[in-house]
């Protein structure tokens, strides 16, 4: 379990922290990736026999700058926040469920707890802006940027100042975790009734696709609530006219507090050369915010899976990310990203721990390369 959090102190200059983090982001290390790729060619297997796992390990080598990366310290961040747009009837669940699920995360009873444990990852839960009271708990960071965002269908979700603070707090959170226990890979998850509406609005704005084409059923709404959801997104885009090239403006107009915090985590991970595993729709919307702030940050993003949500497909195409899994998942919480961590660890261990032909005393000329059946 994560260590007890030190006394929380709000970021004093959000804009400066964001700017410094963006300046520290660099493209992937092509030399480290080349060294990893060369080692792949010397391992005791036919070339390409491990399929996409080989490319995954090489990509992580480029992100980390290490030709044989080890991902021993694994972190899942689950950020929670409420959304004023729920007043428009866009969700099948009441807003109180957000706080109730936060308590469930802290007690270890949610899917993400099970999957994070399977992946050998610790879980940090964040109250980014939950309307109902959340418990005092050593594994909960209570940012509480507000009692949920405002209704995006009638105006902006938050002020730009709050958007800056949300992103900066995500950066600071990641840095605290890295300093305290180390982070070699991070998975990003979320919880928030109504957040699939904000996420779809962000995706529609960034990709310029029609809202209906990127809006799914979220928590499983019926046809009536689905139409209310689409209409709310259409109004949000009309009344806010978000600038898709300005990540902070986009977040202020349409986002959630938890989306902003996750965007900050993406930026901080990129600056620290740490792979950031993208989960589903909402985690993906946060990735779009981060990309709008710092385009080079995308080099550190790894897509864990393809959600059934149509907006998730649009996000993956926009960021040119190829997901590792397609399991028909749509839970959120970081569930798909936790599974993604397991694959990333496996890929890197194969690269690092398998013997080369020379080390094993095996002649590579005697290994027949056969096509897959």
Distances (CA, A) of 325 to 216, 218, 266, 303, 308: 19, 20, 21, 9, 12
Q: Residues 281, 332: contact at Cβ < 8 Å?
A: yes
Q: What is the largest CA-CA distance in the chain?
A: 69
Place of tokens 């397609």: 326
3-state secondary structure of 72: coil
User: How crowded is residue 239: how many other Cβ atoms within 10 Å of its Cβ?
Assistant: 13
What pairs with residue 325 in β-bridges?
305
What is the C-alpha separation between 26 and 63, in angstroms, rounded?
9
What is the C-alpha separation between 338 and 352, in angstroms, rounded?
21
What pairs with residue 75 in β-bridges?
122, 186
Positions annotated as catalytic residues are 333
User: How crowded is residue 181: how many other Cβ atoms within 10 Å of its Cβ?
Assistant: 13
- For 122, residues 6+ apart whose C-beta sits below 8 A from its C-beta are 1, 2, 74, 75, 76, 116, 181
**Which helix (DSSP H) or strand (DSSP E) does residue 142 occupy?**
strand 140-142
- For 29, residues 6+ apart whose C-beta sits below 8 A from its C-beta are 61, 62, 63, 64, 65, 273
């Amino acid at each position: 379990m994560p260590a007890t959090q030190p006394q929380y102190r709000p970021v004093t200059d959000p804009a400066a922290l964001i700017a410094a983090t963006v300046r520290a982001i660099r493209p992937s290390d092509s030399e480290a990736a080349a060294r990893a790729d060369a080692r792949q060619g010397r391992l005791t297997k036919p070339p390409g026999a491990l399929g996409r796992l080989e490319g995954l390990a090489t990509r992580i080598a480029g992100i980390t700058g290490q030709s044989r990366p080890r991902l021993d310290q694994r972190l899942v961040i689950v950020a929670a926040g409420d959304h004023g747009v729920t007043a428009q009837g866009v969700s099948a669940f009441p807003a109180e469920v957000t706080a109730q699920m936060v308590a469930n995360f802290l007690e270890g009873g949610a899917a993400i707890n099970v999957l994070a444990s399977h992946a050998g990852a610790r879980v940090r839960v964040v109250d980014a802006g939950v309307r109902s009271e959340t418990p005092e708990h050593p594994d909960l960071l209570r940012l509480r940027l507000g009692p949920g965002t405002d209704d995006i269908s009638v105006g902006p979700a938050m002020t730009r100042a709050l958007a800056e603070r949300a992103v900066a707090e995500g950066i600071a959170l990641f840095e605290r975790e890295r300093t305290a226990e180390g982070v070699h890979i991070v998975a990003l998850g979320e919880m928030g009734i109504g957040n699939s509406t904000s996420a779809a609005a962000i995706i529609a704005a960034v990709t310029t696709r029609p809202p209906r084409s990127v809006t799914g059923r979220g928590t499983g709404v019926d046809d009536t609530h689905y139409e209310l959801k689409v209409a709310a997104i259409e109004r949000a885009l009309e009344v806010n006219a978000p600038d898709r090239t300005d990540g902070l403006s986009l977040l202020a107009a349409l986002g959630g507090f938890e989306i902003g915090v996750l965007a900050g985590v993406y930026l901080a991970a990129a600056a620290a050369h740490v792979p950031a595993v993208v989960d589903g729709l909402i985690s993906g919307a946060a990735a779009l915010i981060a990309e709008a702030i710092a385009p080079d940050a995308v080099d550190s993003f790894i897509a864990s899976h393809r959600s059934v949500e149509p907006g998730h497909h649009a996000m993956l195409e926009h960021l040119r990310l190829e997901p590792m899994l397609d399991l028909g998942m749509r839970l959120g919480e970081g569930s798909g990203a936790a599974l993604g961590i397991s694959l990333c660890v496996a890929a890197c261990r194969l690269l690092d721990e398998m013997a080369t032909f020379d080390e094993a005393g095996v002649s590579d000329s005697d290994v027949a390369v056969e096509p897959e059946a």
